[in-house]
């Protein structure tokens, strides 16, 4: 274990003033651990090019083009698993969680393509903010075994280096992501929203709250307007993203 290296890097980050300095020291740390490739990236949406959101990284030649052209970001088990993860995890462990998924074959195909590009295994660490999942640190190449202590320290590094690089590369985006969520809702609206997130209909919510379904719809319209959502599905998605429900 190289615990000392990780602790020293966490402390040194406070003293580093430029992006190049941080990236150089981080790559030196990864080299010591045996990781050949990595990416520090803001969380992409399905229709976004992950490379446009990259804060720093290095990948095998040709892999980013294959990943994008085959739309692997949509089915990538590591990215999908991030939505549920609160801490770092190993790439190879994610396929178990999706063993019954209809996209399982494409996931396996992606893993085969990744191994062909020397991405045999790795780890990914989520970075959360006030608006939910903000990005991640992923690193891999050759198979490397990390202890639980090392995993915890890399979790800390992921958060610190993500926000540090974002501050240095795009302070406007940083300000937007860390801005407070200012959505004022009534107690009844919050109750209705939580029941909606549980998959309930207006009639089901009305019976629980002992109000009419028309009143529930009134609350829903108000919530939708406050969140600037397109429909009720969008309401739930935005509410999770903003941390209004969990």
How far is residue 147 CA from its own chain's centroid? 22
Q: What domains does the chain contain, in order, with CATH numbers?
A: 3-178 (3.30.450.80), 187-241 (1.10.10.10)
What's the pLDDT tens digit per position in 187-244?
A: 899 999 999 999 999 999 999 999 999 999 999 999 999 888 899 989 888 887 777 7
What's the pLDDT tens digit per position in 27-67?
A: 999 999 999 999 999 886 656 677 778 999 999 999 999 99
Residue 49 has which token pair?
A: 């090019």
Please answer whether residues 111 and 76 qualify as being in contact, where contact means their C-beta atoms are separated by less than 8 angstroms. Answer: no
As beta bridge partners, residue 105 has: none
Please answer whether residues 185 and 226 qualify as being in contact, where contact means their C-beta atoms are separated by less than 8 angstroms. Answer: yes
Q: Write phi, then psi, for 98 (nearest 5 degrees).
A: -115, 30
- Please state the pTM of the whole predicted model: 0.75
Tell me the pLDDT band of 180, cut-offs 50, 70 and 90.
low
């Amino acid at each position: 274990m190289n615990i000392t290296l990780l602790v020293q890097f966490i402390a040194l980050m406070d003293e580093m003033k430029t992006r190049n300095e941080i990236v150089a020291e981080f790559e030196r740390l990864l080299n010591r651990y045996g990781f050949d490739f990595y990416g520090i990236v803001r969380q992409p949406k399905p229709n976004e090019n992950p490379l446009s959101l990259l804060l720093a990284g290095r990948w095998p030649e040709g892999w980013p083009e294959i990943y994008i052209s085959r739309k692997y970001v949509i089915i990538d088990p590591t990215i999908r698993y991030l939505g549920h993860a609160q801490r770092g995890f190993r790439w190879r462990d994610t396929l178990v969680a999706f063993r019954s998924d209809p996209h399982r074959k494409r996931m396996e195909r992606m893993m085969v393509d990744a191994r062909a590009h020397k991405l045999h295994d790795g780890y990914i660490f989520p970075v959360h903010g006030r608006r939910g999942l903000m990005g991640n640190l992923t690193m891999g190449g050759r198979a490397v075994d990390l202890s639980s202590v090392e995993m915890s320290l890399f979790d800390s590094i992921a958060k610190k280096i993500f926000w540090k690089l974002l501050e240095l590369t795009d302070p406007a985006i940083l300000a937007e992501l860390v801005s407070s969520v200012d959505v004022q809702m009534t107690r009844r609206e919050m109750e209705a929203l939580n029941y909606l997130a549980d998959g309930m209909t207006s009639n089901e919510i009305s019976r629980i709250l002992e109000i009419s379904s028309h009143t529930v719809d009134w609350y829903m319209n108000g919530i939708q307007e406050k969140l600037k959502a397109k429909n009720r599905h969008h309401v739930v998605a935005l509410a999770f993203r903003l941390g209004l429900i969990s």
